[in-house]
Amino acid sequence: MSSPNNFPDLVDHTIRHNLRHSVAHAQPGPAVRQQLLQRAARRCWARFWWPAPSDPVLEYGAPGRSLTPLELGWRELAFMQLLRPAGLFGALCQLR
Amino acid sequence: MSQDATYILRLQAGDLDALGALYDRYRLAVYRTALAITRDPDAAEDILQEVFLRLHTYATSVKPDLPLAPWLYRATINLSYSWFSKHRWLAPLDEVIERLIGPARQRPEPAAEQRAGREQVQRAIDALPFNQRVVIILHYLNDLSLQEIAEILDCPLGTVKSRLHYARESLRRQLEANGQSLELLYEFS
């Protein structure tokens, strides 16, 4: 039985017990493995044409860390605006 | 050379059987961690599949001489965080529904009371901020040391200690408020 003196142990025990109990018998369905291997096989073929980029999920590390800024100057931004379909270049392309 | 290192080298050479073997070895750890964080079996399956797809895609950047488990846990947590940030508004909705339905229920039997106690603990864990919940899950569910958790989360050891402390304090306060259910849980376990 618990007492005020061993309450910290009781808290530890309760957290551990509940977390383990909540996932004790949980396991993924058998289809997950098959889908995984099929997707991996398809990616093998796709990677032949498009080499893998760096992984943002792993690179940014800790959850909540902000993305690295692109550091574009005003010239690059203005140029990209011009090239948008709704920008000047796009509008000129649609002239008849 | 460890078994994992052999599989990683085979995976780097394009052997999909090695991916299957690594999946069989770590699927439960990854799936149960994702499930404990998200509380959603479908999301946990998606995260499980995505973690091993990333392992396949970025196998060449995985060092065979280092343990694989921290890499997998890190990917699991980052993907769970992405899922969590998209679905964070759904959890309060569940709480509102529970509050509306809860008072209408009959007084529960001891077994049901024990289950209700577990649900209270689970809700208390779910109510923790994401960073604290992750530390609690890695420490209590996966039995990882604080140093291992610091390496997985790529943050100082002091930060992990602090998150664990605040999470435990928060849970302690909520569990003390439900002391009777807690003792019942303790006796049955």
Domains of chain B: 3-86 (1.10.1740.10), 102-187 (1.10.10.10)
Which of B140, B144, B176, B182 to substitute to test the interface with A, most A CBs within 10 Å? Answer: B140
Residues 6+ apart with CB under 8 A from A58: B54, B58, B74, B75, B78
* Cβ contact B76:B144 at 8 Å: no
The alpha helices in A24-73, defined as continuous H runs, are: 30-49, 56-59
CB contact under 8 A, B57 and A43: yes
Q: Provide the pLDDT for residue B189.
A: 46
CB contact under 8 A, B182 and A2: yes
Q: Decide which of A84 and B116 is more confident.
A: A84
CB contact under 8 A, B186 and A57: no
**Chain B: closest CA distance from residue A86 (Å):** 30
Q: Provide the pLDDT for residue A76.
A: 82
Identify residue B120 by its one-letter amino acid code.
Answer: Q
Which of A44, A57, A67 to substitute to test the interface with B, most B CBs within 10 Å? Answer: A57
Chain A residues in contact with chain B using a Cβ-Cβ cutoff of 8 Å: 1-2, 7-8, 10-23, 26-29, 32-33, 35-37, 39-41, 43-44, 47, 52, 55, 57-58, 60-64
B25 near A CB under 8 A: no
Residues B109 and B189: their CA atoms lie apart, in Å, by: 17
Give the pLDDT band (50/70/90) at residue B102.
low
Give the pLDDT band (50/70/90) at residue A85.
confident
Q: What angle do CA B37, B40, B41 make, to 5 degrees?
A: 110
- Which of A36-50, B141-155, B174-188 has maximum average pLDDT? B141-155
Residues 6+ apart with CB under 8 A from B41: A26, B35
Give the pLDDT band (50/70/90) at residue A54.
low
